[in-house]
Structure 1
Amino acid sequence: MLTFLAFAMIVSFIVLLSMKKLSVFNALTLVPLVFGVIAVFATGATMSDLFSWIKDGIFYTVDYEGQSTSMGVISPGLTILFSILYFDLMLGVGLFDPVAAFFIKMAKGDPLKVLMFSVMAASVVSFNGDTTTTIIICTSAFINLYRQMGLKLIYLAIVIVAPIGIWNQLPWGGPTIASATAQGIEVNELFATLLPSLLTAQVAVIAITYLLGKKERKRLGWSAEDAKAVSPEQLDQMIAAVRDKDVELKRPKLFAFNLVLTLVAVVLLIQGEIHGSIIFMLASAIALVVNYPKVEESSQRLEDLAADVLPTAVITLGAGVFSGVLTGSGMATALANFIAGIIPTQLSSHMAPIYAVIATPAVCFLPQDAFYFGIASVMKDVMAQFGISATQAAVASMVGQSFRLVSPVIPALYMLCGECKLNFTDFMKEYGKYYGIALLVLYLVVYGVVGALPF
């Protein structure tokens, strides 16, 4: 009975999200509430037990026999709240503007340089973890240059999204937080495991972009003399797309301070000795008082950023209801035992890479929260039965991020394809051909070499 309820709950959650019948927050809270009530009657539990399951999923559970505590979603929820706040502040003050402008200036009409600096600019801007913002800024900065030079706009599209797919996996990125939350591990711990592969992937993306740039040089018959065709006025126009966005919020005189503050915060986060929420809460307070010293300005920035900060944090906390009911009711264990029972024993030693490959299309085509909170949270228990730790299961679930940035459920991609006059299917094919498959294989290899993904 519990196995059936678990399947029904997960499928209902995914279908309601995919059909847009419920918002992510409502689906994460109301669907498990309904199935939790059914589980109460099916197992002979009480309504008090139901609310205890929810409380445990949000806050923490204590194993008195094992003398251990398992944190709920409150830990990553607070981290995402303050990390999004901090990086939105940094985006507003213009921390990433000089680097992006530098890349634009250095290109000077060379197709190879244009593609290389496009991918570097996208890499830098995507550090804030926001897909839509990165696409808007990079498309605005480069699309006119691509058109003027006759470069393939589909290359601009895939060059922009390739690094986003990598750096969305930073500790403040949605996939990493969702995966860590679903597996019941700390974001810092997961990120430290992911980092070697992310750095390798960035190198691979730059190398692939270099080859695309060489192809464009050959196709266009470019020579060194052609570099003179781009006027200073054209360069200024492209830089203005970055420089003049929300100019009233910029603080160019405080660039050095904001850069140092950000580097200190990131280093402390990677070290893992201080909880991420504390780091970014304090860093946000410092950033506000330095960049916007007037009380009115500081308060206004908090109000303006609330629309970006609160939804993701609220969704993360809502996930505690889903995971709490799924785990506390026994549905997760029942489903895990069922799945483990149908897996051939001869495949048990290879379950981590098999799971990673199978999960890739799910990561691409399902809403992110539907996959991590609806499927990955259950697969954690299945993997455990094959000796795979929660961290290793989380890593396996992250391999599919190689194709996440061609997902049809990401609205910003339709905006990108519209600006570049692309058919979405063609965009998916080109990305997969040049970046997607290469990154999928690279992730599997690197994670296997460093021991993060047991083969």
Structure 2
Amino acid sequence: MLAALGFATIAVLLLVTMTKRASVLVALILLPVLAALIGGFASDLGELTLGGLSKVAPTGIMIAFAVLYFSLMVDAGLFDPLIRALLRAAQGDPLRITVATAVLTLCVALDGDGASTFLITVSALLPVYKRLGMNPLVLSGVVCLGAGVMNMVPWGGPTVRAMAALKLDSSDVFNPVLPAMGFGVAWVLVASYLLGRRERNRLGALSVPGPATDVRQGEDERDAREPVASTAAAAEPSRQATPTTADGQEPQALRSPGDGPGAVRVPPLPRTWLNIFNLLLTVTLVVCLIQEVLPLPVLFVLGFAIAVLVNHPTWEQQQALLDKHAKSVVLVTTMIFAAGVLTGILSGTKMIDEMAEAFVSVVPDSFGSHLPVAVAVTGMPLSLVFTPDAYYFGVLPVLAETANGFGTDPAEVARAAILGQMTTGFPLSPLTASTFILVGMSGVSLGEHQRFIFRWAFATTLVMTAGALVTGAFPL
């Protein structure tokens, strides 16, 4: 009963969001609540919901301040040199921009953290896509592919869970599939090339403004640098000049709406020193994130407080900055807390546990020797159904024990699982908070993102599965 109710909840959620029958926010909240009422958990509904919200609260706090931090840095022009370099290298060609997106994502995702990968890559590249008029779904899709493959690293969540669940070492799980991961990286580059070529055909190659036209088009470039993740940015009638503008004009302090001509303002640091400070602060923050010097929410809270104090030292400037990016924060954080309602109810009612047992029970005995291949192929789609903890600590041990009964090494099942389960699949799953960071910052809906990139992500798993078979990570 509970398993059927859980599967039905996920199925209806995917249906209504992909067909746009309801907003993702509404579906994430009301569908699990309805499932809990049908399952007879009305008296526990408050506790279950609060439990889910409390688990995602640190993520919500981190994302709120991370969006503010990177929005501030985009406004300050921190990523302008990267944007100009990409535009020069791409020569206005959407194909080259798309491939560059894949390369940048593969490099940034080495830290194994999807949230920080999305924050950094989308912050840097969304202005480029807007400048060229490219489809933001290409951005979210290519970042999804690159981050998915790189999530297989031994310090990434899925591989760590697989090793912990089956008490294996990295040499048992990750090392044998490293060549297959190389196949996946190659496929991501191929896929980005194909998607970029499609964008090129749609838009045509665009030229980068030359030095002679930079001043004339400075205002256009300044307007093109939109705030990260804000769908309302295009509707803004004007933008104030920032401490580092693209057109070389003198920096001006950010003003609040009521800031009159006679108001006293603290002048910002000289642009060169402000650029150096922002770069050093961001590099320090990223290093601290990777090293986990402090919890991620704490790092972003402190980083934003320092950044806003230096870049916008007066109360009026700080208030204007918060007003400007408030919608961006609300759009992303509300999705994360809504996802907490879903996972809290599904986990607290044991629906996830029952779904895992039901899934394992339908595996036929004849699949025993071919179980690794079946696990690899189904892992990516099942990311839409199971949370990483439910799969790796609930489903995987049972599958591994089943395979062991047929003479198959449990480590082979673990290797197969990380080829898709919450690796290539996590940036599409409504059960992971980081998915909503990606779609929220890119300004696309979850359903559109899933429809656009699902087949490409699934193809990534198939390519890596073929690579694992060829290199002997597990037998056919």
For residues 181-216 of structure 1, give each alpha carbon's deviation from its aligned partner in whole angstroms, at most 9, with x where no partner exists: x99x9xxxxxxx9xx9999977876688799999xx
For residues 146-171 of structure 1, give each alpha carbon's deviation from its aligned partner in whole angstroms, at most 9, with x where no partner exists: xxxxxxx9xx9998666533566699
Q: Which amino acid aligns with 2:10?
A: I
1:311 matched to 2:331? The reply is yes
For residues 37-87 of structure 1, give each alpha carbon's deviation from its aligned partner in whole angstroms, at most 9, with x where no partner exists: 22226xxxx61x33222232222xxxxxxxxxxxx2223222222222222
1:94 matched to 2:86? The reply is no
1:80 matched to 2:60? The reply is no
Q: TM-score, normalised by structure 1?
A: 0.61
Give the equivalent residue in structure 1 for 2:143.
164
Give the equivalent residue in structure 2 for 1:103.
86
1:138 matched to 2:128? The reply is yes
Q: Which amino acid aligns with 1:299?
A: Q
Report the CA distance between 1:288 and its aligned residue: 0.9
Aligned-partner SS, 1:398:
coil
Which is further off, 88-97 or 127-136?
127-136
Counterparts in 2 of 1:230 and 1:362: CA distance versus 1, 3 Å: same
Give the equivalent residue in structure 2 for 1:301.
321
Asked if the contact 1:93–1:249 (Cα under 8 Å) also holds between the matched residues in 2, the reply is no
1:396 matched to 2:421? The reply is yes
Counterparts in 2 of 1:336 and 1:251: CA distance versus 1, 3 Å: same
1:340 matched to 2:356? The reply is no
CA distance in 1 between counterparts of 2:459 and 2:377 reads: 13
Asked if the contact 1:2–1:39 (Cα under 8 Å) also holds between the matched residues in 2, the reply is yes
Aligned-partner SS, 2:78:
coil
Asked if the contact 1:166–1:201 (Cα under 8 Å) also holds between the matched residues in 2, the reply is no
1:386 matched to 2:386? The reply is no
More helix by share: 1
Asked if the contact 2:99–2:196 (Cα under 8 Å) also holds between the matched residues in 1, the reply is no
Aligned-partner SS, 1:248:
coil
CA distance in 1 between counterparts of 2:468 and 2:308 reads: 39
Report the CA distance between 1:268 and its aligned residue: 1.0
1:277 matched to 2:302? The reply is no
Give the equivalent residue in structure 1 for 2:4.
4
Asked if the contact 1:399–1:443 (Cα under 8 Å) also holds between the matched residues in 2, the reply is no
CA distance in 2 between counterparts of 1:412 and 1:443 reads: 29
Counterparts in 2 of 1:210 and 1:4: CA distance versus 1, 3 Å: closer
Counterparts in 2 of 1:161 and 1:77: CA distance versus 1, 3 Å: closer
CA distance in 2 between counterparts of 1:78 and 1:242 reads: 32
Aligned-partner SS, 1:129:
helix
CA distance in 2 between counterparts of 1:96 and 1:202 reads: 25
Give the equivalent residue in structure 2 for 1:62.
none
Q: Which amino acid aligns with 1:33?
A: V
Counterparts in 2 of 1:138 and 1:355: CA distance versus 1, 3 Å: farther
Give the equivalent residue in structure 2 for 1:29.
29
For residues 5-27 of structure 1, give each alpha carbon's deviation from its aligned partner in whole angstroms, at most 9, with x where no partner exists: 22232223223323333322222
Size of the aligned set, in residue pairs, is 375
Which is further off, 376-385 or 82-91?
376-385
Give the equivalent residue in structure 2 for 1:323.
343
Q: Which amino acid aligns with 1:58?
A: L
Give the equivalent residue in structure 2 for 1:18.
18
CA distance in 1 between counterparts of 2:103 and 2:12 reads: 37
Counterparts in 2 of 1:104 and 1:340: CA distance versus 1, 3 Å: same
CA distance in 2 between counterparts of 1:78 and 1:411 reads: 15
Q: TM-score, normalised by structure 2?
A: 0.59
CA distance in 1 between counterparts of 2:300 and 2:441 reads: 27
Counterparts in 2 of 1:213 and 1:279: CA distance versus 1, 3 Å: closer
Asked if the contact 1:122–1:164 (Cα under 8 Å) also holds between the matched residues in 2, the reply is yes
Report the CA distance between 1:276 and its aligned residue: 0.7
Matches for 1:36-55 after TM superposition, within 5 Å: 36-40=36-40, 47=43, 49-55=44-50
CA distance in 2 between counterparts of 1:170 and 1:249 reads: 39
Which consecutive residues of structure 1, in runs of 5 or more, have no partner in the other structure? 60-71, 144-152, 172-176, 186-192, 215-226, 364-370, 416-423
Counterparts in 2 of 1:6 and 1:21: CA distance versus 1, 3 Å: same
CA distance in 1 between counterparts of 2:462 and 2:217 reads: 36
Counterparts in 2 of 1:248 and 1:394: CA distance versus 1, 3 Å: farther
For residues 351-384 of structure 1, give each alpha carbon's deviation from its aligned partner in whole angstroms, at most 9, with x where no partner exists: 6764553354687xxxxxxx36x77675453234
Counterparts in 2 of 1:28 and 1:445: CA distance versus 1, 3 Å: same
Counterparts in 2 of 1:239 and 1:18: CA distance versus 1, 3 Å: same
For residues 384-420 of structure 1, give each alpha carbon's deviation from its aligned partner in whole angstroms, at most 9, with x where no partner exists: 433578xx6696222147999xx9x9799999xxxxx
CA distance in 2 between counterparts of 1:25 and 1:271 reads: 33
CA distance in 1 between counterparts of 2:157 and 2:28 reads: 12
Counterparts in 2 of 1:76 and 1:383: CA distance versus 1, 3 Å: farther
Which is further off, 303-312 or 97-106?
97-106
Could you tell me the percent identity over the aligned residues? 25
1:248 matched to 2:240? The reply is yes
Give the equivalent residue in structure 2 for 1:261.
281
CA distance in 1 between counterparts of 2:4 and 2:46 reads: 21
Asked if the contact 1:57–1:320 (Cα under 8 Å) also holds between the matched residues in 2, the reply is yes
Q: Which amino acid aligns with 1:397?
A: M
CA distance in 2 between counterparts of 1:351 and 1:238 reads: 59
Asked if the contact 2:66–2:119 (Cα under 8 Å) also holds between the matched residues in 1, the reply is no
Q: Which amino acid aligns with 1:308?
A: S
Asked if the contact 1:162–1:205 (Cα under 8 Å) also holds between the matched residues in 2, the reply is no
CA distance in 2 between counterparts of 1:29 and 1:453 reads: 41
Counterparts in 2 of 1:337 and 1:206: CA distance versus 1, 3 Å: closer
Report the CA distance between 1:295 and its aligned residue: 0.6
CA distance in 1 between counterparts of 2:82 and 2:314 reads: 28
CA distance in 2 between counterparts of 1:384 and 1:282 reads: 40
Which consecutive residues of structure 2, in runs of 5 or more, have no partner in the other structure? 109-116, 151-155, 165-173, 198-206, 227-238, 245-270, 401-412, 430-434
Aligned-partner SS, 1:397:
coil
Counterparts in 2 of 1:206 and 1:266: CA distance versus 1, 3 Å: same
CA distance in 2 between counterparts of 1:168 and 1:106 reads: 23
CA distance in 2 between counterparts of 1:445 and 1:235 reads: 49
Report the CA distance between 1:291 and its aligned residue: 0.9
